[in-house]
Amino acid sequence: MNNKVIAILILISWVCLLSSARSYAVSGSVQSQDDYIFTLTHLRNMRIVIENFGTDELKTHFDKVSQLFQRNAKEFYAQEFSFFDEESKKYRTRFFYVKKEMSTLFDKMANIYLERGKEILDSTTKQSFDILISYGRQSNLVKFFNKEFDPLNDIKPYKEKEYHFFHDKEIIERYLRHGYKTLNNAKRIYTDPDLLLIKNKEKKTSKDYSYLINRYWRVISDCRQAKQYGIEIHKILKVNEVTTILKRYQKNLVSLDPNPIFDDRIPQEFKVDANDNLKLIHSHELQRISKVKGPSEKPQE
């Protein structure tokens, strides 16, 4: 009787061990599948970011991350969902170190986007606030808009091409408000105590790296939105140049907005940001300028 009980207990133990192993295999495969999709998606996102704003050092780092992903993807395709990490002496899911390197790269790029966002918005403020002051409803210039004008004896205290600011000032103010608010939200995410706590952890988990990457990507996305507000302000400030621009590039008004590379209302140094906001690679878009302007005319960078 006792022998039978022992045999049953041994059998139950083996069943539990096999179930545990099978459960680990299933969870490992699911985790690897999730990590595969996660890293592949963010590598695609990062490629555009790196192409547009990455330094040579960051581009080299991105290439290393891509190669690391490729090596692990091959093992993933072969159903090798985990590996023994000699450094930590434990098993890791397949894309652990890919996410580790990606988080470092995303951190650096998020900081670059914060700087770019501030630069673009700040480049609009002087002229924008001059307009808000000069063309407000209570400003002195408003009185001249409804006043009878004698072309022989009177002199207009404003330029006719700037009359549209009387109507557009509210849009400019709204874009400034939303732009700086969105940029500040991005800063808060980047300096969030919870993010910094995980960032400074000596030993991070796979979930920690996923959290960091997602938060840094949110910073980049918010900065793109903030930069777009600044770009739209530049387009309002130079709205009278549209006709000249259309003739220069032989374009129509409908095709101008989706193609910022041709929109010279945007300062040349910020066209890369306008293209990036549309997830376009700036160097590729510059080649389109060459085709329109001809080989003898170098595209502006």
pLDDT digits (tens, 9 = 90+) for 91-148: 678 899 999 999 999 999 999 999 999 999 999 999 998 888 877 665 555 555 555 5
Note if the pTM is more than 0.85: no
Q: Alpha-carbon distance 21 to 73, whole Å?
A: 23
Q: Containing domain of residue 107, as a range?
A: 2-237
Region class of 88: left (phi > 0), else alpha (psi between -120 and 50), else beta: alpha
- What pLDDT does residue 259 have? 86
- What pLDDT does residue 140 have? 57
**41 pLDDT exceeds 90?**
yes
- What pLDDT does residue 10 have? 46
Burial of 34 (0-12, 13-18, 19+ CB in 10 A): middle
**Any domain includes 31:** yes
* Mean per-residue pLDDT, 190-207: 95
In the chain, the amino acid numbered 34 is D
- What pLDDT does residue 74 have? 92
- Average pLDDT of every residue of the chain: 82
If one compares 253 and 157, the residue with the highest pLDDT of the two is 253
- What pLDDT does residue 139 have? 55
**86 pLDDT exceeds 60?**
yes
Tell me the pLDDT tens digit for each residue of 246-285: 888 887 766 777 789 999 999 999 999 999 999 999 999 9
**31 pLDDT exceeds 50?**
yes
Are residues 187 and 111 in contact, defined by beta-carbon separation less than 8 angstroms? no
**Any domain includes 126:** yes
Least confident residue range of 50-54, 137-141, 236-240, 280-284: 137-141
Q: Alpha-carbon distance 238 to 219, whole Å?
A: 29
Number of domains in the chain: 1
The 10 Å Cβ neighbour count of residue 273 is 25
Q: Alpha-carbon distance 283 to 275, whole Å?
A: 10
**Any domain includes 113:** yes
* Mean per-residue pLDDT, 15-41: 67
**Any domain includes 214:** yes
**Any domain includes 246:** no
Res. 21 pLDDT band, cuts 50 70 90: very low
If one compares 27 and 33, the residue with the highest pLDDT of the two is 33
